[in-house]
């Protein structure tokens, strides 16, 4: 048995095969995720076409400053995640742990800002349901907008929370010295996941926060 | 060696014992058994609901159960049969067992994920059973809004959470299959040497991973609407009642092909083996599987011809629906041509296969009626539709499943099933099935709507015929349950290749060892090398893996 | 047709029925041919090539490109014929003739309410004359229902929040089943009724016999006044709101540069969601009437708006 | 596949900088009325460009096998099917009245 046999699971022939399988597996999973969010994007598109005025008006009730800051925070976290993958590839343990920690911190900041926004919406009675505060002829469609707002950002936040869990596991493994130049697949594929969650937000940001600004 | 009594050969069943060794196994063959137990359980649960439905419909007055109960019965029948039996049946049992062996691998790419898929499936089933036990759900398996989101007073949220959870099991299984087929084929196992069973499962997996997430998010939104009063489908707020239907059928039409494509894969194997011929037009059959998988996503609107969908969209969907009939027709013709100049034997799996071809032809042709706009307007949401999809899902998919279980039973267990009883059961099922569902075509064209608890008295005779057929069908389904369990202990020892079939799974012992192959095979032949002398894979260390 | 004591084929009681049945029989013929062909081939092959000894090894036949192309193109051609035939039929069911008698239908769990233009309303029954096209404008107060008359071969979902239309021309007097064929809750199978097709003279007699509470349009006019619509929607374009005279079927320019053909759904939406589509040149000042007027009321107002023809514009007086 | 391809910190930083600039650009452009649906189109184009940068560089797809490209392409293609065929219904619902009326 050669050394490389120690680094891969029994069903694989070698580490390269195992790496390829994990890499493809994560991409297939992300394809699934595209369709998962795609269902909501479709609903949003249909209603935005039906009720442009209501969507513009409702969108303008979101806090664009916080939204933009959050976009920047998430992009920065993608950057640190990319650096984490690079550190893992180079076998640099300390920078890897630092980058992963930084990514987690930025993710937490994002969630903190997001929940601040949720709280604001709660105070302003913009949460759909019996307590919805808007009235007037546009109120129905505005409630639909806020339903999408909460469903889409909520699903996104859920993915962030799962991502934080995965990053925690990575940090634990990294501290135990599990990753090396030869074996760093988990860092790489969880990196893919994190970037994907970033991409979803890149689309959510203009659709939710920006659609009505020019009509203000 | 010959002086002492040889220790029994090690294989995946006797390598270790105890509940824990099964519940924590990562062996794809043992996981297949876990699934087999799960889907069999749900099949009989679903069958129980069907029995009550058919009993109720014996009389037109609706006097056996209350309307509310009846609505719950057909809903739970649909939900259990579709999400917990048909969708996992062939892929998760036979696919799990066979795909790694057929491509010459030791296991799937992600064995632990495979085990997790089974737990997720059972967890989803648990939610749905809990919903049934708590009083059931009455929306129909289609969960149309706004009935499901606002008006129904039953356990919709719990049920859809169950389906959502089970969806993950499908996604992970599909992901596992695709990665395995891409990365773990044995040397020499090129794409065009793959058995058609593997092609069919590859195509099915595409639908698993790209369709399932859409139903997951759609049902999640329905649950959120019920639990947190979001207003995504609510017409009171201006919500579009057709949006849900688009999202639902985007998955649920391709889901029909999730149920039938693996069956087509099974039939290709069986027809080849029992006529000892290479499948006629191998590459056409292989590509028609992929063609079906892609086209299946372009036709969902044919469920919405009378829903208020735009005329133009309906026409596009009708045209595309016609196209999906073509790859199915190609398969039927090729299977039939495979029989030509073959050496045909009539073992039970072959009886199921021949039954499959006939019933699938009828199911497929009646699908053209439904894809045709003018006729669909009349038969939509009637018993014609019920008959059509039961010809596909029961007449075809379940027949293929049973045929496959019989065919690979010796490989899975090392034992033979009792052949005469099995042939009898296959014939009973075929006759019972036709008596149950053929009258429903007539009922449908007469105009009897589906999901009717009370119906006009002139429809009674046909309904009685259907119920009589269902009782025969029930006998047919109970028989294999009994003799297959019996054969586990008393069946004759099968040997490595009882059917004299070709394929890597027949070159290893029955039951196979845990790692399937002692040395990785080197494939030098096309699939179904019947009539080719000594066609088998090369095993580099010299011997094939048999002992 | 031979009788077995129970029906095997539905009544043909509309002008569409015969045409749908023709396509149905064509499809049935195709199906019998292909299913028969496959079954016969299977049986012949199974008998002729049955295994005679266990060692038999038939010669492999890899395939035949010509055959593959043949049995790809033949089904393709046939399904395209079926598509064109079916689509033409379908298009006809969407084109209501201009002279159709218009009846409004409101569905709710679990009953059908029909309103004739003359003001008669019926529950779970619909009386119509034979030999005259009838157009139904339908909506639902709760969930999705479906108006299905097997003898006419027509069916259409009835949606909440939207109008759908359906038309047919009954050809044979008699009484026919009306089914709700979209699952709508507990008493779904109880949401049935009958369509009574009468000779035109008998229908006229039926119409004059009932105690009609005034026509749809006059009821709509009353609502139009009592809800105050009349104070803005003047007969000419001088008011704060656009004139409604001759509105139906007209192309209306909207704010934002779009335009739309005014149909029943547009009028309905403008009453309940007035700011969704505002006519160019007007302010979005109209209040919503959601909750103030029932679905039947909206249909009455709609009947009134439809009655405002250009040449009769004089009848809208302040 | 990307195994072993190490991207320089400089390139990552350049991509990060571009993404930030694009974010500010899209937020700023949203306040200018471009007329019609141009605002929405521009916002989606910028979002698409940002997503492409993340996919190609941060996710190493630029250095990956053709199979990876196929899988990603399939994901987006299927999303397109969902959007296109549903919108085919939603957008053409009023057409018949227009044709008849």
Q: By the 8 A CB rule, do C254 and C260 touch?
A: yes
As a CATH number, domain C101-209 is 2.60.40.420
DSSP A3-46: GGGGGS-TTSSSHHHHHHHHHHHHHHHHHHHHHHHHHHHHHHHH
User: Which of D20, D26, D30 to mutate to test binding with chain A, by most A CBs within 10 Å of its CB?
Assistant: D30
8 Å CB contact of A144 and B110: no
Say if residue C275's pLDDT is above 80: no
d(CA B386, CA B441): 8
Residue whose token pair is 């041919």: C33
Closest to A184 measured CA to CA, from D6, C153, C180: D6
**B535 confidence band (pLDDT: 50, 70, 90):** low
Contact C143 B147 (CB under 8 A): yes
pLDDT at A149: 96
CB contact under 8 A, D85 and B298: yes
Higher pLDDT, A164 or B518: A164
Residue C275, min C-alpha distance to chain A (Å): 6
Q: Which two tokens stand for residue A139?
A: 């109120």
Distance of alpha carbon A61 from alpha carbon A215, whole angstroms: 12
Q: Quick check: B312 and D95 CB within 8 A?
A: yes
Within 245-284 of C, beta carbons closer than 8 Å to D belong to: 248-251, 257, 260-261, 263, 265
> How high is the pLDDT of residue B541?
63
For residue A8, is it within any domain?
no
Compute the average pLDDT of residues C129-149. Answer: 94
Q: Could you tell me what percent of chain C has a pLDDT over 70? A: 94
Q: Are residues D83 and D100 both part of a single domain?
A: yes
Task: Please list, residue by residue across A8-43, b when 16 or more beta carbons sit within 10 angstroms of its beta carbon and e when fewer do.
Answer: bbebbbebebbbbbbbbbbbbbbbbbbbbbbbbbbb
Q: Are residues D30 and D6 in the same domain?
A: yes
Residue D96 near chain C (CB below 8 Å): yes
Tell me whether residues C190 and B454 touch, CB distance under 8 A: yes
**Chain A contact for C161, CB < 8 A?**
no
pLDDT value at residue A1 = 33
CATH topology for C216-315? Cytochrome Bc1 Complex; Chain D, domain 2 (1.10.760)
At B493 the three-state DSSP class reads strand
At B1-25, the pLDDT tens digits run 444 555 678 899 988 889 999 999 9
Cis peptide bond N-terminal to C110, omega within 30: yes
Nearest-5° Cα angle at C115, C112 to C119: 150
CB contacts of A25 in chain B (<8 Å) are: 109-110, 175-176, 179
Tell me if chain B has a CB within 8 Å of the CB of D84: no
Mean pLDDT of A172-193: 93
Q: Which residue has the higher pLDDT, B85 or C3?
A: B85
Which CATH architecture is the domain B25-507 placed in? Answer: Up-down Bundle (1.20)
Nearest to B366 by CA among B355, B375, B353: B375
**Subunit contact A137:C256, Cβ cutoff 8 A:** no
The pLDDT value recorded for residue C3 is 59
Residue ranges making up the domain that contains D39 = 1-64
Residues D18 and D1 in one domain: yes
Other C-beta atoms lying within 10 Å of the C-beta of residue C261: 18
* Per-residue pLDDT tens over the stretch C202-214: 999 888 876 556 7
- Residues of D with Cβ-Cβ distance to B182 under 8 angstroms: 67
Cα distance between residue B482 and residue B492, in whole Å = 16
**Spans of all domains in chain C:** 101-209, 216-315
What is the pLDDT of chain A when averaged over all its residues? 91
Pair D11, D56 in one domain? yes
Q: Quick check: pTM over 0.80?
A: yes
**DSSP three-state, residue C184:** coil
**D18 has a chain A CB within 8 A of its CB:** no
Q: Where do the domains of chain B lie?
A: 25-507
Indicate whether A1 belongs to any domain.
no
Interface contact flag, B531 C57, Cβ < 8 Å: yes
DSSP assignment, residue A124? T
Q: How far is CA B377 from CA B280, C84, C154, D88, in A?
A: 38, 15, 6, 20
Touching A (3+ Cβ pairs <8 A), the chains are B, C, D
Beta carbons of C220 and C228 less than 8 angstroms apart: no
Give the pLDDT of residue A7.
62
One domain for residues D17 and D54: yes
Q: What is the mean pLDDT of residues A133-144?
A: 87
CB contact under 8 A, A211 and D40: yes
For residue A51, the chain B residue with the least C-alpha distance is B238
Give all chains having 3 or more CB-to-CB distances under 8 Å with chain B. Answer: A, C, D
For residue C137, the model assigns a pLDDT of: 93
Residues on chain B touching A13 (C-beta within 8 angstroms): 520
| D38 interfacial to chain C (CB closer than 8 Å) | no
Render pLDDT for B189-242 as a digit per residue (tens, 0 to 9): 999 999 999 999 999 999 999 999 999 999 999 999 999 989 899 998 889 989
Pick from A53, A137, A141: CB nearest C287: A137
Tell whether the model's pLDDT for residue A5 goes beyond 70.
no
Residues D80 and D37 in one domain: no
Poorest-pLDDT segment among C162-176, C290-304, D86-100:
D86-100
Rounded to whole angstroms, the Cα distance separating C11 from C166 reads 19
Domain count, chain D: 2
Complex ipTM: 0.90
Q: How many domains does chain A have?
A: 1
- Which of D85, D94, D95 to mutate to test binding with chain B, by most B CBs within 10 Å of its CB? D85
Q: Shortest CB distance from A143 goes to which of B216, B217, B237?
A: B237
Are residues D99 and D74 part of one domain?
Answer: yes
Task: Find the distance separating the first CA and the last CA of chain D, reported in whole Å.
Answer: 58
- pLDDT for position C285: 78
**Which chain B positions have a beta carbon within 8 Å of D93's beta carbon?**
308-310
Q: Can you read off the two tokens belonging to residue A157?
A: 């936040």
Neighbouring chains of C at 3+ CB pairs under 8 Å are A, B, D
For B545: left if phi > 0, alpha if psi spans -120 to 50, otherwise beta; the answer is: alpha
Q: Is residue A3 part of a domain?
A: no
User: Nearest by CB to D88, which of B214, B242, B313?
Assistant: B313
- A53 to chain C, any CB pair closer than 8 A? The answer is yes
More confident residue, C224 or B332: B332
Average pLDDT, chain B: 93
Same domain, D30 and D42: yes
- Determine the pLDDT at residue B115: 97
Cis amide prior to B196 (ω within 30 degrees): no
> Which domain, by its residues, includes A132?
14-215
Q: Which residue has the higher pLDDT, A11 or C77?
A: C77
pLDDT value of position C211: 56
Q: Among residues 55-94 of chain D, which lie with CB inside 8 Å of chain A? A: 55, 57-60, 64, 67-68, 71-72, 74-76, 78-79, 82-83, 86-87, 90-91
Radius of gyration in angstroms for the set of CA atoms belonging to chain D, rounded to a whole number: 19
Same domain for D49 and D39: yes
Claim to verify: residue D60 and residue D70 sit in the same structural domain:
no
The CATH number of the domain holding residue A138 is 1.20.120.80
Cα(C87)–Cα(C95) distance, integer angstroms: 13
Dist. CA A15–CA B190, nearest whole Å: 21
**Residue C89 confidence (pLDDT):** 93
Query: How confident is the prediction along chain D (101 residues), in pLDDT tens digits per residue?
Result: 345 688 899 999 999 999 999 999 999 999 998 877 888 999 999 999 999 999 999 999 999 999 999 999 999 999 999 999 999 999 888 766 544 44
Tokens 């698409």 correspond to D48
Asked if residue A48 belongs to a domain, the reply is yes
Model confidence at C87: pLDDT above 70: yes
| Contact with chain A for residue B521, Cβ under 8 A | no
Give chain C positions within 8 Å (CB) of D96.
94
Per-residue pLDDT, C213: 64
Q: A interface toward B at CB cutoff 8 Å?
A: 9-13, 17, 20-21, 24-25, 28-29, 31-33, 35-40, 42-43, 46-47, 50-51, 128-130, 140-141, 143-144, 147-148, 150-151, 155
Please tell me the distance in Å from B464's CA to the nearest CA on chain C: 12
**In terms of Cα–Cα distance, which of A133, A157, A160, A152 is closest to A207?**
A152
């Amino acid at each position: 048995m050669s050394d490389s046999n120690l680094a891969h699971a029994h069903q694989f022939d070698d580490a390269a095969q195992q790496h390829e399988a994990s890499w493809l597996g994560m991409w297939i999973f992300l394809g699934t995720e595209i369709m998962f969010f795609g269902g909501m994007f479709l609903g949003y598109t249909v209603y935005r076409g039906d009720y442009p005025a209501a969507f513009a008006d409702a969108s303008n009730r979101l806090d664009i400053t916080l939204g933009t800051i959050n976009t920047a925070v998430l992009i920065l976290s993608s950057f640190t995640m990319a650096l984490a993958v690079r550190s893992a590839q180079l076998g640099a343990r300390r920078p890897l742990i630092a980058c992963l920690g930084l990514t987690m911190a930025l993710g937490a900041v994002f969630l903190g800002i997001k929940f601040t926004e949720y709280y604001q919406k709660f105070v302003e009675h913009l949460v759909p349901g019996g307590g919805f505060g808007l009235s007037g002829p546009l109120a129905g469609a505005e409630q639909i907008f806020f339903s999408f707002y909460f469903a889409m950002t909520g699903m996104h936040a859920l993915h962030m929370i799962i991502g934080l869990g995965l990053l925690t596991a990575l940090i634990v493994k990294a501290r135990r010295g599990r990753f090396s130049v030869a074996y760093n697949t988990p860092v790489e594929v969880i990196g893919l996941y994190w970037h994907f969650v970033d991409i979803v937000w890149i689309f959510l940001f203009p659709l939710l926060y920006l659609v009505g600004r020019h009509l203000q | 060696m010959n002086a002492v009594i040889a220790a029994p050969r090690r294989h995946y069943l006797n390598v270790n014992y105890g509940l824990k060794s099964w519940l924590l196994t990562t062996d794809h063959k043992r996981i297949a058994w876990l699934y087999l137990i799960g889907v069999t359980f749900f099949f009989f649960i679903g069958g129980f609901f069907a029995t009550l439905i058919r009993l109720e419909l014996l009389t037109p007055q609706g006097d056996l159960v209350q309307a509310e109960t009846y609505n719950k019965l057909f809903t739970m029948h649909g939900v259990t049969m579709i999400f917990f039996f048909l969708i996992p049946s062939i892929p998760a049992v036979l696919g799990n067992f066979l795909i790694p062996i057929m491509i010459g691998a030791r296991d799937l790419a992600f064995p632990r994920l495979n085990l997790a898929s089974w737990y997720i499936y059972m967890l989803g089933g648990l939610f749905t059973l809990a919903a049934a036990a708590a009083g059931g759900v009455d929306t129909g398996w289609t969960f149309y809004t706004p009935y499901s989101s606002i008006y129904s007073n039953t356990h919709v949220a719990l049920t859809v959470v169950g389906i959502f959870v089970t969806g993950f099991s499908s996604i992970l299984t599909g992901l596992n299959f695709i990665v395995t087929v891409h990365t773990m084929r044995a040397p020499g196992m090129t794409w065009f040497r793959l058995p058609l069973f593997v092609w069919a499962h590859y195509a099915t997996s595409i639908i698993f991973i790209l369709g399932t997430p859409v139903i997951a998010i759609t049902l999640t939104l329905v649950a959120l609407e019920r639990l947190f009063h979001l207003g995504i489908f609510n017409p009171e707020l201006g919500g579009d009642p057709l949006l849900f239907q688009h999202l639902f059928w985007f998955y649920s039409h391709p889901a029909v092909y999730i149920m039938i494509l693996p069956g087509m894969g099974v039939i290709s194997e069986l027809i080849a083996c029992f006529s000892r011929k290479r499948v006629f037009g191998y590459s056409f059959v292989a590509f028609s599987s992929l063609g079906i998988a892609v086209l299946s996503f372009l036709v969902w609107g044919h469920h919405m011809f009378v829903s208020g969908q735009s005329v133009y969209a309906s026409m596009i969907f009708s045209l595309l629906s016609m196209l999906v009939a073509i790859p199915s027709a190609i398969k039927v013709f090729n299977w039939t041509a495979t029989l030509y100049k073959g050496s045909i034997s009539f073992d039970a799996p072959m009886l199921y296969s021949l039954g499959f071809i006939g019933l699938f032809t009828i199911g497929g042709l009646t699908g053209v009626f439904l894809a045709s706009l003018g006729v669909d307007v009349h038969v939509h949401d009637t018993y014609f539709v019920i008959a059509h999809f039961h010809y596909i899902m029961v007449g075809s998919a379940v027949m293929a499943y049973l045929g496959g279980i019989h065919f690979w039973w010796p490989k899975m267990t090392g034992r033979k099933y009792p052949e005469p009883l099995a042939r009898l059961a296959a014939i009973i099922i075929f006759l019972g099935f036709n008596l149950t569902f053929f009258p429903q075509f007539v009922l449908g064209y007469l105009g009897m709507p589906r999901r009717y608890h009370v119906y006009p008295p002139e429809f009674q005779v046909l309904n009685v015929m259907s119920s009589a057929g269902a009782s025969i069908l029930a006998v047919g389904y109970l028989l294999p349950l009994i003799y297959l369990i019996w054969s586990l202990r008393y069946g004759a020892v099968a040997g490595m290749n009882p059917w004299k079939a070709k394929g890597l799974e027949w070159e290893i012992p029955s039951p196979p060892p845990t790692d399937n192959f002692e040395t990785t095979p080197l494939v030098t032949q096309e699939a179904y090398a019947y009539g080719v002398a000594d066609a088998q894979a090369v095993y580099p260390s010299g011997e094939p893996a048999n002992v | 047709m031979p009788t077995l004591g129970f029906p095997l084929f539905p009544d043909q009681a509309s002008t569409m029925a015969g045409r749908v049945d023709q396509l149905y029989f064509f499809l049935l013929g195709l199906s019998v041919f292909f299913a028969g062909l496959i079954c016969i081939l299977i049986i012949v092959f199974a008998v002729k090539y049955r295994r005679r000894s266990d060692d038999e090894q038939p010669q492999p036949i890899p395939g035949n490109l010509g055959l593959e192309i043949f049995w790809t193109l033949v089904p393709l051609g046939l399904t395209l014929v079926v598509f064109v035939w079916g689509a033409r039929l379908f298009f006809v069911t969407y084109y209501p003739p201009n002279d159709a008698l218009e009846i409004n239908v409101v569905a709710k769990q679990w009953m059908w309410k029909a309103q004739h233009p003359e003001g008669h309303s019926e529950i779970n029954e619909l009386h119509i004359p034979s030999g005259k096209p009838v157009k139904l404008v339908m909506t639902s107060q709760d969930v999705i229902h479906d108006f299905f008359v097997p003898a006419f071969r027509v069916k259409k979902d009835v949606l909440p929040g939207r109008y759908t239309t359906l038309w047919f021309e009954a050809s044979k007097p008699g009484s026919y089943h009306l089914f709700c064929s979209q699952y709508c809750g507990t008493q779904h199978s109880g949401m049935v009724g009958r369509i009574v097709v009468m000779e035109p003279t008998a229908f006229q007699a039926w119409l004059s016999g009932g105690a009609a509470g005034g026509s749809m349009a006059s009821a709509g006019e009353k609502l139009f006044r009592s809800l105050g619509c009349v104070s803005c929607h003047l007969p000419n374009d001088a008011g704060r709101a656009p004139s409604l005279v001759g509105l139906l079927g007209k192309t209306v320019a909207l704010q934002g540069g779009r335009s739309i053909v005014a149909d029943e759904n547009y009028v309905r939406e403008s009453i309940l969601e007035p700011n969704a589509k505002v006519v160019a040149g007007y302010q979005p000042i109209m209040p919503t009437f959601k909750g103030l007027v029932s679905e039947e009321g909206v249909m009455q107002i709609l009947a009134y708006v439809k009655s405002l023809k250009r040449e009769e514009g004089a009848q809208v007086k302040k | 596949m990307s195994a072993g391809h190490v991207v320089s910190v400089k390139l990552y930083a350049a991509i990060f900088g571009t993404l930030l600039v694009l974010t500010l650009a899209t937020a700023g452009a949203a306040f200018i009325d471009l007329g019609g649906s141009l605002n929405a189109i521009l916002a989606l184009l910028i979002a698409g460009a940002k997503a492409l940068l993340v996919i190609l560089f941060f996710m190493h797809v630029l250095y990956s096998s053709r199979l990876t490209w196929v899988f990603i392409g399939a994901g987006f293609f299927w999303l397109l099917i969902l959007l296109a065929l549903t919108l085919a219904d939603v957008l053409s619902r009023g057409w018949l009245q227009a044709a008849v009326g």
